[in-house]
Structure 1
Amino acid sequence: MGISKLSKGHNLRWESSRMMLPEHVTELNKSRLNNTKSKKPIIDEQQWNEFSLVFTEAQHLDRKIKITIWDDGFFVDIFGWLHNIDLHLKRIRLDIDEFEVEYIDFNDIVSVEFAD
């Protein structure tokens, strides 16, 4: 006796309904992405003091720095030269190259170190 749609223990009855709507695929991809996200670390006062030392030295010696920021669950490294620190707007200006500038909010900064 052969296997048919109605054979006990086989899933052939539902074989034709194995499809996913685009909306389901989108939601599954969002769910997978959310599972890989990291929580934002809390930066304490001591770490901010260390950051300020790196900022000061980088600005005076014109050294390239690497700033790691937290962007919606992911860590992103940005390399450049510190141009200035705006305490009023709570952000720094980082010159990436001759034509590109990046403004980074204090709240997004996770770590600061020299790139060299």
Structure 2
Amino acid sequence: MNKLTPGGNMRWESMRMILPEHREAWLTHQEENKKVQQPVLDEQHWQEFEYILSEAMEYHQLLTFIFWHDGHFYEIIGHCHFINNTQKQFHILTVDEEIHYLKFDVLINLALH
């Protein structure tokens, strides 16, 4: 009679315990595998972003900023309060009245909310 789990890997079946440091290393490895490289935007995307930004700033509309940070994508919803060309960043005022500073080079997508 076979006590192995059906569909289990026979090589590792007897190892039902894992050390905490091995588990931590395995989870870190899994998290590293989920990371995505930063996409590179072409000039056409930047022209589209410029048009959307000018419309939104003129009519004070909400924007959805999607940006890349450390291998993951994040989203901020708010108004573009100011564009700082010297530091190359957007000053975004969210609905919660928080101010975020978003660098130009991490912006992935921009859309009206």
Q: When the two structures are superposed, what TM-score results if normalisation uses the length of structure 1? A: 0.80
Cα shift at 1:64: 0.2
Give 1 or 2 for the bigger CA radius of gyration.
1
| Residue 57 of structure 1, aligned match among 55, 69, 81 | 55
Partner of 2:4: none
Secondary structure at 2:110 match in 1: strand
Overall identity of the aligned pairs, in %: 28
Cα shift at 1:87: 0.4
Partner of 2:34: 36
Secondary structure at 2:108 match in 1: strand
Equivalent residue runs for 1:1-116 within 5 Å: 15=14, 18-97=16-95, 99-115=97-113
Cα shift at 1:98: 5.3
Gaps in structure 1 of 5+ consecutive residues: 3-9
Secondary structure at 1:58 match in 2: helix
Partner of 1:6: none
- Residues 47 and 31 (structure 1), Cα distance of their counterparts in 2 relative to 1, 3 Å cut: same
Q: When the two structures are superposed, what TM-score results if normalisation uses the length of structure 2? A: 0.82
Question: Is the deviation greater in 95-104 or in 53-62?
Answer: 95-104
The number of equivalent residue pairs is 105
The amino acid of 1:26's aligned partner reads E
Aligned Cα root-mean-square deviation (Å): 2.2
